[in-house]
Structure 1
Amino acid sequence: MTRVVLLGASPGPDISPTGLRLAALPGNPTVAERLRGQLSSMDPRFATVQTGDVAAALRAVADVAESATESLFLIPENSVVHDELIYQITKSKRGALALVAKEPRTGVTEDNGQEETGPEEPVTEDEGPGDRIPIDEAEPEIGLNRVEGLPVRVRIGKSRVVSVGTANHAVTRPNGVVLGPLHISARNAPVLAQTCRELADMAHRFGADDDLMQLIVFGLVRNGVSVGIRGRRDLFYRRVTTQEEINEAGAEMAGMDEDRSRLNNAVKGADGFFTTYFVSTYSRYIARWAARRGLTPNQVTLISIALGVAAAACFATGDRPWMVAGGVLIYFAFVFDCVDGQVARYARKFGVLGAWLDATFDRFKEYVVFAGLAIGWVVSGHGDEIWILALAAIGLQSVRHLLDFSFGAARRRKPPSPLPSIPLDSADDRELRQALSTRKVERSQGVRGMLKMWTKAGKYRAVHWARKMIVFPIGERFAAIAITAALFDARITFITLVIWGCVAAAYTLTGRLMRSLV
């Protein structure tokens, strides 16, 4: 559940911006009607905060945050936005996430604030082409440019907001804006409440053109909260104030394929090489077909299980034609294993039972196939020693999964690394950026530095996919089983699984030991 905070006046007459209508959309709704309809599924009793008085609005947000037991989603009432963009922002696992846009610059491709998984200390980067001096030599300034009506007073880094300014608080080389929507996790709700109260007490220091959402992010960043960034990408968001802007927004949004973005988002972005290039290229369309016909993720999981058992039965015959058939079946068992998750994400049908079934029967399919391969080897007239390899493969994979789950649980209990903070009334962000630079140097030494270098190496495509493959994820395992069983025999399959599995176990165990030390 998400607590929604709508920033703006209550619905007024048709002369107010939120009362103007989106003629290009079905039903000709007003801006306020459409947004409230979109938000009601998340929070039927969302809070509305009047924004005429900045201090009063900040205290009202603080009151909501103090009483919240769930995550919060703040959004201006005059927002025109795709449903899918709201969904993607509110499902973020980051402690805080803001929708941002970078200031367009001549000769530089705008990335529009796409969230990345790289380092979170983008404090010394040069911006590339152009005649601007390196950021380390830049002086803080009051941003005077505007993007979509908002003052450019936000410094956006690679994966998060680095610094924010106001009309009276300078920021080092501002390059973007906070567009509006902001998602705050439940663990950061108390910090949001405290920050808003502190901001309310110093409201006299803000300017008439300071935006309420940027002020909130200003306070969060200075109080040490890591605010991640999200760009619009292929989805739509805009704040509107006039009928002309509303007409433009409605027409532009109607011309965008929201379903395509939703379908692409159904595919996990961190999949392995085999899954990315040999499954997800078409499995998403199977997922959409299944979702539109009412199939549930659990029903798709059952199809995957049935295909896995059929593959094991084919392998158990030991005959070459059936071994080839088993390889084909185990491949499609994996395809439908991907499809069930994609159906869940596309149709937004999630459940504890489904997650448990998916994780449990992934292991069941692997192990029943191992048994089928061993049985086929024996019935073909070979010795019983194949069971030693089969048990070794099962034992190795079981240990790897145990380590995966235990490490994941331990990491979830570890609190996030705190960021530097500075007083809200500091005239500029030099102290903050100096603290970030010091933090970056400290985190570049020892074990942490080695891990950071290995992370940076991932920008090279070959290294990126090599790292994905070396850990022997489920896609590569099923591919190895399908190919070796169809072309060779069960002994080759098990030898491949054991050798590659041992390499993967050594690699992941080394990495996790190193990460446990930092």
Structure 2
Amino acid sequence: MTRVVLLGASPGPDISPTGLRLAALSGNPTVSERLRSQLAAMDPRFATIPTDNVATALRALADVAEQATESLFIIPENSVVHDELIYQITKSKRGALALVAKEPRVGVTEDNGLEENGPEDNAAEDRIPIDEADPEIGMNRVEGLPVRVRVGKSRVVSAGTASHAVTRPNAVALGPLHVSARNAPKLAETCRELAAMADRFGADDDLVQLVVFGLVRNGVSVGIRGRRDLFYRRVTTQEEINEAGAEMAGMDEDRSRLNNAVKGADGFFTTFFVSTYSRYIARWAARRGLTPNQVTLISIVLGVAAAACFATGERPWMVLGGVLIYFAFVFDCVDGQVARYARKFGVLGAWLDATFDRFKEYVVFAGLAVGWVVSGNGDEIWILALAALGLQSVRHLLDFSFGVANRRKPPAPLPTTPLDAPDDRDLRQKLTARKVERSQGLRGVLKMWTKAGKYRAVHWARKMIVFPIGERFAAIAITAALFDARITFITLVIWGSVAAAYTLTGRLMRSLV
């Protein structure tokens, strides 16, 4: 569950715009009615906090955070937003996540910058490097909000207020803010600190940006994401509401939802030979009421049928087995995509998916070995089959145990600075020192390897070398159809051994830093 906190319109006119209607949308709902109906599914008794007094609002938010046992989703009441964007933000695994918009700069093609305190890319020639820039009070505005946030590639680096300068501000926090349950106590503490110094804030300081300012200075990693192909806007007038309704109605939210049903970190084979079309199968299945578990059963049946074909040892059946194992993997991808598209998740489904992925592989191993023997070849194939099965089992065990251990590891702390510090110089100096420290020894090697991933060839090579399930099923399908079981098992053992050595080395290094 997620605890929802609805903030009164801030900033905005004296008369709240939330009662005005979105005429472009079906049912002609008011802004408030639509947003509340969207949030009710997450938290039917969400908290509502008036924001006409900043100190009072911050104390109320602190009270909610202190009592929360789940993550919190904070959003202004005058928000017009796609359901899918709410879903994506609230499903984030980050400690905190803010929806941001970068300030457009004429003549500057600026990306999100560096994670911490590096130079900006593509900066205009007349702008001094960020390391030499003086902190400033952001006075520019984006969508009615003062530009007082500095974002990097993946998180908020620094933030300011009307009396707290920030170095080279380049973005605004648009409104939606998700805070994990583990950071709820820190949110409560931060809000109380901010309430005590409310007299230092300006009339144009936005409540959400103040919270982001406090969290960042208190060492919380606030991740960022943009709207991308989804819609979000705060509205204050009927004209803005009309524009927002028309723009949102013209956007294809379903396409974005479908695209986001596909994992963004899949392997090479899955990305280019499955996910290009499997998403459409997933949508077709979801719209006809098929559950993820039913799709999983289809995948299992196809896997068993492939094993039966391989067990004949005859070339036509081996080719058919290769085709069937490929489609078994396609439907293995589809079941997860159906779950994410239809938002149907369950413990049984997760268990079935993880367990029967292994079952399909191992029953195919058995089918290949049986087919080799019945074709009149020797029994020594079983040694290769057992080697492939044993190697894959050990790899799965190591993957599982490392994942469990890694989840228990606390996140690396970020530097802090007092909330009453007039600017972010001290914070940025600490970030620089942290960056230098993390660039030495094993951390430096791992960081260099991570940065190498920006090159497309290296990125996909790293994806393939670990021999993920897509590559394994592709190797089985191709080698079994074109060659024989012996070549299949040799491929699995050699590639699997290389993958095991690579992943074990990386995990040992990560465990030591």
Q: Residue 115 of structure 2 corresponds to which residue in structure 1?
A: 121
1:427 is matched with which residue: 422, 425, 431?
A: 422
- The answer (yes or no) to whether the contact 2:74–2:176 under 8 Å persists in 1 is yes
SS of 1:123's equivalent in the other structure is coil
- The answer (yes or no) to whether the contact 2:212–2:222 under 8 Å persists in 1 is yes
SS of 1:179's equivalent in the other structure is strand
**TM-score for the superposition, normalised by structure 2:** 0.98
Q: Residue 313 of structure 1 corresponds to which residue in structure 2?
A: 308
**TM-score for the superposition, normalised by structure 1:** 0.97
- The answer (yes or no) to whether the contact 1:102–1:110 under 8 Å persists in 2 is no
Q: Deviations over 1:252-275 (max 9, x none)?
A: 000000000000000000000000
Q: Residue 71 of structure 1 corresponds to which residue in structure 2?
A: 71
- The answer (yes or no) to whether the contact 1:9–1:49 under 8 Å persists in 2 is no
Distance 1:139 1:16 in 2: 38
Q: Residue 501 of structure 1 corresponds to which residue in structure 2?
A: 496
Q: Residue 36 of structure 1 corresponds to which residue in structure 2?
A: 36
Q: Deviations over 1:321-371 (max 9, x none)?
A: 000000000000000000000000000000011001000000000000000
1:225 is matched with which residue: 201, 206, 220?
A: 220
Q: Residue 54 of structure 2 corresponds to which residue in structure 1?
A: 54
Q: Deviations over 1:153-210 (max 9, x none)?
A: 0001010000000000000000000000000000000000000000000000000100
Shift of 1:124: 1.5
Distance 2:122 2:416 in 1: 28
1:215 is matched with which residue: 204, 210, 223?
A: 210
Q: Residue 169 of structure 1 corresponds to which residue in structure 2?
A: 164
Which amino acid letter does the alignment assign opposite residue 192 of structure 1? Answer: L
Q: Residue 189 of structure 2 corresponds to which residue in structure 1?
A: 194
Q: Residue 459 of structure 2 corresponds to which residue in structure 1?
A: 464
Distance 1:52 1:498 in 2: 66
Q: Residue 102 of structure 2 corresponds to which residue in structure 1?
A: 102
- The answer (yes or no) to whether the contact 1:126–1:135 under 8 Å persists in 2 is yes
Distance 2:464 2:355 in 1: 22
- Gaps of at least 5 residues in structure 1 are 114-118
- Gaps of at least 5 residues in structure 2 are none
Distance 2:422 2:87 in 1: 37
Distance 2:9 2:145 in 1: 19
SS of 2:229's equivalent in the other structure is coil
Q: Residue 140 of structure 1 corresponds to which residue in structure 2?
A: 135
Distance 1:385 1:120 in 2: 55
Distance 1:32 1:126 in 2: 40
Shift of 1:221: 0.1
Shift of 1:38: 0.2
- The answer (yes or no) to whether the contact 2:305–2:324 under 8 Å persists in 1 is yes
- The answer (yes or no) to whether the contact 1:127–1:134 under 8 Å persists in 2 is no
Q: Residue 378 of structure 2 corresponds to which residue in structure 1?
A: 383
SS of 1:479's equivalent in the other structure is helix
1:395 aligns with 2:390: yes
2:246 is matched with which residue: 251, 263, 271?
A: 251
Shift of 1:400: 0.1
1:282 aligns with 2:282: no
1:323 aligns with 2:318: yes
Q: Residue 346 of structure 1 corresponds to which residue in structure 2?
A: 341
Which amino acid letter does the alignment assign opposite residue 123 of structure 1? Answer: N
Shift of 1:15: 5.9
Distance 2:220 2:414 in 1: 7
SS of 1:80's equivalent in the other structure is strand
Q: Judging changes above 3 Å, is the alpha-carbon distance between structure 1 residues 456 and 448 closer, same or farther for their aligned structure 2 residues?
A: same
Q: Deviations over 1:214-258 (max 9, x none)?
A: 000000000000000010000000000000000000000000000
Q: Deviations over 1:70-105 (max 9, x none)?
A: 000000000000000000000000000000000001
Q: Residue 89 of structure 1 corresponds to which residue in structure 2?
A: 89
SS of 1:25's equivalent in the other structure is coil
Distance 2:183 2:114 in 1: 18
- The answer (yes or no) to whether the contact 2:110–2:121 under 8 Å persists in 1 is no
In the alignment of these two chains, the number of paired residues is 509
What is the Cα-based RMSD across aligned positions, in Å? Answer: 1.3
Which amino acid letter does the alignment assign opposite residue 125 of structure 1? Answer: P
Q: Judging changes above 3 Å, is the alpha-carbon distance between structure 1 residues 15 and 199 closer, same or farther for their aligned structure 2 residues?
A: closer
Which amino acid letter does the alignment assign opposite residue 70 of structure 2? Answer: E
Distance 2:269 2:435 in 1: 35
Which amino acid letter does the alignment assign opposite residue 19 of structure 1? Answer: G
Q: Residue 486 of structure 1 corresponds to which residue in structure 2?
A: 481
Q: Residue 360 of structure 2 corresponds to which residue in structure 1?
A: 365
- The answer (yes or no) to whether the contact 1:219–1:424 under 8 Å persists in 2 is yes
Which amino acid letter does the alignment assign opposite residue 181 of structure 1? Answer: P
Aligned-pair identity (%): 88
- The answer (yes or no) to whether the contact 1:82–1:236 under 8 Å persists in 2 is yes
SS of 2:340's equivalent in the other structure is helix
Q: Judging changes above 3 Å, is the alpha-carbon distance between structure 1 residues 74 and 223 closer, same or farther for their aligned structure 2 residues?
A: same
Distance 1:193 1:125 in 2: 34
